[in-house]
Structure 1
Amino acid sequence: MKTDLPLSAAPLTRHSGQTLSEQLAGQVAERIRQRLLAPGARLPSVRDAARRHGVSPHTVVAAYDQLLAQGLVEARKQRGFFVRGPQAEPAAARSRAASGADVAAPKVAPIDATALIRGMFQAGGGRPGPGLGTLPAAWLDLPLLHGALRRVLADDRQAGASASALLYGEPAGDPRLRMALSNRLQDLGIPAAPERIVTAVGATHALELISRTLLAPGDAVLVDDPGWAVESARLSRQGLRLLPVPRGADGPDLDVLAALATQHRPRLYVTVSVLHNPTGHTLGLNTAHRLLQLAQAHDFLIAEDDTYAYLAPPHAPRLAALDGLQRTVYVSGFSKILAPSWRVGYLAAPAGLVDRLIDTKLLSTLTSPALLEQAVAVCLEQGLLRRHAEKVGALLASARARSVRLAEAAGCRFLAPPQGLFGWLDTGVDTERLALPLLDAGWLIAPGSLFHASHRPSTAMRINFASSQDAAFWKAFVAARATMKNAGSGPALS
């Protein structure tokens, strides 16, 4: 019988609020609850598990003891440890199942994701936040925004009683913008006529329209792991069961995805194909092709979040282009490239889904702001957005090179090739604990634990290349990390 744990187990760290045995037990428990370790499966031997994770056999025995106490595994004399079958579940678990609570997949929300959002609304004038997800205000083009609005308002004055400012916008979104978006998507190889496009109040709202339309509380949804902290938190608040899919250099771990799809029959996979947040990875063509085959075989749709489209290479592959919007719903927006307050997003969907999405939009926001949508249309039609994005791209390339040098000089190792807006790096210590002294010093970071659907310690950290160029931050980082390591020196944890 197969004994390997399912792929992509997170590394254990000695600089964590949890012992090594607690971390290992948590990883195995998560795989059991996701049914990636089936009832009757044998766990790796103590010696094999110790070698694989770089810990002592005592640590593995302690972890397996915790799993025994939780009723998730059983010990068979001279044979090892095995996953218990459903009939051997503890009474508490049976009680939850009888009451309708599905315990097969984690529902833990990364609640600290709100700290990242709150950081965006702090008063200006302070130090940049290396963990934030926005471009610096100095990089944005205020005259461009003012000019586009003046053009729209001038047209509105001529319209008189039929001015956009006096009326509700169209339910699907401003027709002028949807036509401009259709042309934009054609450039990306995505066949989306204006009738297949629905606008939203930002890309996050577009993703919510999809999940609210397709899913009900208790439904399972596949998500990237690591993935966007805010989206995982939002889906959890909606009452959905998150099925984390490990994310690698070429995209999702398709073996894990196939196993989860077989066990849980998800109806949706929310993923980022290009410039993945937080790793910066871009989906490989072979992986994209196989992913679409799995979506067809297991009958789920893919919500493709392309929020950072204007920072991406021009010919990066999109799932929506590869399958012609058959099993994909493409999502993007403009707040990341124009300004955070310009909450204009959109989705392009299969034809049979559009009316349902519009109904959900009507129930959530009635319509979206026509004036801002028309201003974005002006930026698209006149090439203003394209030229602005080229300038931002040049600034970002320079900032990325400087931030990489500073990070590596501080002893960090990049877990993915640096590209796009974000860097995903290994710090060597538990970044959730590291965040507290750095916050006291005035620096907001994004700990790796925020980007996992099930909370666990992580030595990873996401940085924003645009706001991580200050040598003072890296000096504070090195000092805080050294303090943590000194405090944690001594006998190895177990």
Structure 2
Amino acid sequence: MSARETRPETDTDAPSAGASSPRGGLDRSAAQTLTDQIASQFTEHIRQRLLAPGAKLPSVRECARRQGVSPHTVVAAYDQLLAQGLVEARRQRGFFVREQRQSAQPHAAAAVASVPPVDATALIRGMFHGLSDKPAPGLGTLPADWLDLPMLASALRRVLAQGDPMISLQYGHPAGDRRLREALCVKLADFGVRAQAAQIITATGATHALDIISRTLLKPGDAVLVDEPAWAVEYARLTQLGVRLLPVPRGADGPDLTVMATLAREHQPRMYVTVPVLHNPTGGSLNLSTAHQILKLAEQHDFWLVEDDTYAHLAPAHLPRMAALDGLQRTLYVSGFSKILTPSWRVGYLAVPERLVERLVDTKLLSTLTTPAVLEQAVAICLEQGSLRRHAERVTTRLDAARHRTVQLAQQHGCRFVTPPQGLFGWVETGVNTEVMAQLMHDEGWLLAPGHLFHATRRTGTLMRINFATSQDARFWRDFDRLRASVR
């Protein structure tokens, strides 16, 4: 069925609540026709999952009005999308993004909740490749100009000039560079976590550390407790392993313990994965009482605790860690340096019970062989010399100021914070569908992190996560307010 065959019906349709079309991106002086430009922009949105499967495209008339072109131009663009198999025409209803076929996964029917692994890729691609020269409120890391490049360069020079010359010419130690692991023992003591160097394994970032744990301790069909909301990459990663997700509502002080106890009793989970401090996206941290109750549930129902302390360098050291409370008996502690040093180096680590070390190192060897000793020793130097500590202090001072300014701007533009603003991220109530807003703001050059990315099952919502360091630009909030009015 062609766009021309459905146009009389769809021209009179109002766009659905989830509909969005590319705006303001047509170049009438370009060699590419306006039809091809419209089709290309829709194609990009679909492939980046900014228009999800099942989303309704604007009617031909509405798209023509937004773009300032004739309906015939839009009809021809929609015909291209139909021919590519990206959309389907439903008589009397309009045009909808097609669901792409995916191979069946084992145990999918038994999953309590799951998320397609590609659902978070639009945001991830935006983090890797900036949409424009504007700040990215949906960014997951600190801005590049907040990082200390001279400190990194100096540490690398010292490793190469003063260290073992063979370090750059051979594989590193299977468990990771000894110098870094010893420096990490000292750092972990600041949080009350007592670990020997032999209990620490390095990884290519915290995400890799989490993957090592999951591949070692889980098998398809196992149930895993996860926070909700939380970062969709973790949902997708676990789903790809064929495990069943058991979402536990997460508040400012930690998970809903009543829900957790019920799920643990009914589903016998193998593991609970959580961000204890400066949680993504809510910014909350476990209090001592909640941490103690989680440990009791884990003991009672015999499941592992995986503590992803990715934002440790941005948080006060006194906040409770479960690994400190149980002495690394049932808890596996994960962290890294992407959020404070640089996301490029991909240096992470895990501190684990002694009885698991050999199994976890075996999994690491099968996935990456070893990790880069040059970068690990450079991080060790930053730790040993105190330069990382001083850098973290400067960043947290700057982040406090950014958070104060961003909160003021958000509230001035009619938004409110669902949880107290803390750390790097704010969890913001906007009053409108943020999936639609993400599409519209994308066309204006702004990267948003809509709330549906942080749920185990896809749902429309009005929340979004903002990065306080990249949301201070008043232009962003003015554009957001203007487009929100059009959505309303």
Aligned match for 1:115, one of 106, 112, 122: 122
| C-alpha distance in 2 between matches for 1:108 and 1:204 | 17
Q: Could you tell me which residue of structure 2 aligns to residue 281 of structure 1?
A: 284
Q: Could you tell me which residue of structure 1 aligns to residue 260 of structure 2?
A: 257
- Establish whether residue 143 from structure 1 lines up as the match of residue 150 from structure 2: yes
Contact 2:167 2:373 in 1 (8 A): yes
Q: Which amino acid in structure 2 is aligned with residue 320 of structure 1?
A: A
Q: Which amino acid in structure 2 is aligned with residue 264 of structure 1?
A: H
Q: Could you tell me which residue of structure 2 aligns to residue 342 of structure 1?
A: 345
- Establish whether residue 292 from structure 1 lines up as the match of residue 295 from structure 2: yes
SS, match of residue 224 in structure 1: strand
Q: Shift in Å at residue 103 of structure 1?
A: 2.8
Q: After superposition, where does 1:52-71 map in structure 2 within 5 Å?
A: none
SS, match of residue 464 in structure 2: strand
| C-alpha distance in 1 between matches for 2:270 and 2:162 | 44
Q: Deviations over 1:83-139 (max 9, x none)?
A: xxxxxxxxxxxxx9xx96543512233632111211122158611110111101111
Q: Which amino acid in structure 1 is aligned with residue 333 of structure 2?
A: Y
Contact 2:168 2:374 in 1 (8 A): yes
Q: Could you tell me which residue of structure 2 aligns to residue 92 of structure 1?
A: none
| C-alpha distance in 2 between matches for 1:101 and 1:379 | 45
Q: Could you tell me which residue of structure 2 aligns to residue 492 of structure 1?
A: none
Q: What TM-score does the superposition give when structure 1 sets the normalisation length?
A: 0.77
| C-alpha distance in 1 between matches for 2:399 and 2:289 | 29
Aligned match for 1:105, one of 106, 112, 117: 112
Q: Deviations over 1:358-401 (max 9, x none)?
A: 00000000000000000000000000100000010111011101
Aligned match for 1:198, one of 183, 201, 205: 201
Aligned match for 1:153, one of 156, 160, 163: 160
Q: Which amino acid in structure 2 is aligned with residue 144 of structure 1?
A: M
Q: Deviations over 1:142-189 (max 9, x none)?
A: 100000000000124xx44xx111111000000000000001111110
Q: What TM-score does the superposition give when structure 2 sets the normalisation length?
A: 0.77
- Establish whether residue 408 from structure 1 lines up as the match of residue 411 from structure 2: yes
Q: Could you tell me which residue of structure 2 aligns to residue 393 of structure 1?
A: 396
Q: Could you tell me which residue of structure 1 aligns to residue 304 of structure 2?
A: 301
Aligned match for 2:329, one of 326, 331, 341: 326
| C-alpha distance in 2 between matches for 1:437 and 1:199 | 41
| C-alpha distance in 1 between matches for 2:256 and 2:117 | 21
Contact 1:201 1:345 in 2 (8 A): yes
Count of residues in correspondence between the two structures: 389
Q: Shift in Å at residue 474 of structure 1?
A: 0.4
Summarize the Cα distance change of 1:170–1:341 in structure 2 as closer, same or farther, 3 Å threshold.
same
Contact 1:110 1:452 in 2 (8 A): no
Q: Could you tell me which residue of structure 2 aligns to residue 126 of structure 1?
A: 133
- Establish whether residue 180 from structure 1 lines up as the match of residue 177 from structure 2: no
Aligned match for 1:212, one of 215, 218, 227: 215
When structure 1 is superposed on structure 2, of 123-132 and 284-293 the one drifting more is: 123-132
Structure 1: give runs of 5+ residues left out of the alignment.
1-14, 19-95, 486-494
Structure 2: give runs of 5+ residues left out of the alignment.
1-15, 20-103
SS, match of residue 112 in structure 1: helix
| C-alpha distance in 2 between matches for 1:274 and 1:123 | 28
Q: Could you tell me which residue of structure 2 aligns to residue 35 of structure 1?
A: none
SS, match of residue 391 in structure 2: helix
Summarize the Cα distance change of 1:176–1:477 in structure 2 as closer, same or farther, 3 Å threshold.
same
Q: Deviations over 1:403-422 (max 9, x none)?
A: 00110011001001101000
Q: Deviations over 1:208-243 (max 9, x none)?
A: 001010011221111100011211111112222111
SS, match of residue 355 in structure 1: helix
Q: Shift in Å at residue 313 of structure 1?
A: 1.3
